[in-house]
């Protein structure tokens, strides 16, 4: 009996030590800033998905009809996961939950069926995609006319396939975040954008992308520094 008690005590101690050594999960709100690659701010979302009703924080969207421009980056979008694009390229239009619809209205997003634009970029990857890479991609596509010129309500969304690994400063997708949104200045316009890493489950991927888009829509556009 004494031997059994000693064994159980050792096992319990080993469990406690192992638990203490495990890294704590990163849980932040969609409005918590982190440093991005150009010493600016980005805002991350984790897999601990919050209801859309929690995203407003008593703030209204700067525009009642945010416009979505989507870039599907990676060769898999043209083949194995192409069918997902229909839902992802119109995130607001595909909201079906009554609670989410009410939350959008409460947050000042009235028009869910505005015009959307999407394009595939099968030439990107495989490999890592840093935040600066994402900004360079958007700037190049805007310069070349591959994307419509954005207005104050435009949010550009980059969807990555499984061959592209997103990084944000010292953070890595999957380990530290599920998606993020940020902004940069280009040609006198404040460009708001979202990066959505690949998610194996389509339903979860849609919910992550939707929340990242809504979080970006509710973030006021800051004036460009003179």
Q: State whether residue 160 is helix, strand or coil.
A: strand
The confidence band for 39, taking pLDDT boundaries of 50, 70 and 90, is confident
The confidence band for 225, taking pLDDT boundaries of 50, 70 and 90, is very low
Q: What is the pLDDT of residues 136-178, one digit of tens each?
A: 999 999 999 999 989 889 999 999 999 999 999 999 999 999 9
Please give the share of the chain, as a percent, with pLDDT higher than 90: 60
The CATH number given to 27-217 is 3.40.390
Q: Give, in order, the Cα–Cα distances in Å from 125 to each of 18, 75, 76, 84, 153.
A: 38, 8, 10, 19, 29
In the chain, domain spans: 27-217
Whether 186 and 192 have beta carbons less than 8 Å apart is answered as no
């Amino acid at each position: 009996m004494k031997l059994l008690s000693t064994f159980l005590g050792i096992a319990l101690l080993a469990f406690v030590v192992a638990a203490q050594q495990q890294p704590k999960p990163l849980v932040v709100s969609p409005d918590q800033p982190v440093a991005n690659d150009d010493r600016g701010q980005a805002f991350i979302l984790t897999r601990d998905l919050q209801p859309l009703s929690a995203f407003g924080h008593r703030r209204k969207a700067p525009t009642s009809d945010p416009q979505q421009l989507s870039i599907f980056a990676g060769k898999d979008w043209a083949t194995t996961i192409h069918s997902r694009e229909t839902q992802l390229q119109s995130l607001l239009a595909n909201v079906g939950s009554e609670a989410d619809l009410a939350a959008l209205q409460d947050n000042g997003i009235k028009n869910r069926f505005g015009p959307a634009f999407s394009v595939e970029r099968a030439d990107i990857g495989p490999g890592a995609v840093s935040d600066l890479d994402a900004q360079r991609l958007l700037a190049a596509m805007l310069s070349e006319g591959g994307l419509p010129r954005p207005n104050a309500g435009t949010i550009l969304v980059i969807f990555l396939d499984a061959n592209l690994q997103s990084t944000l400063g010292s953070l890595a997708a999957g380990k530290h975040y599920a998606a993020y949104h940020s902004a940069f200045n280009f040609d006198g316009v404040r460009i708001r954008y979202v990066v959505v890493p690949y998610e194996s489950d389509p339903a979860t991927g849609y919910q992550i992308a939707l929340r990242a888009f809504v979080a970006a829509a509710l973030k006021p556009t800051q004036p460009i520094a003179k």
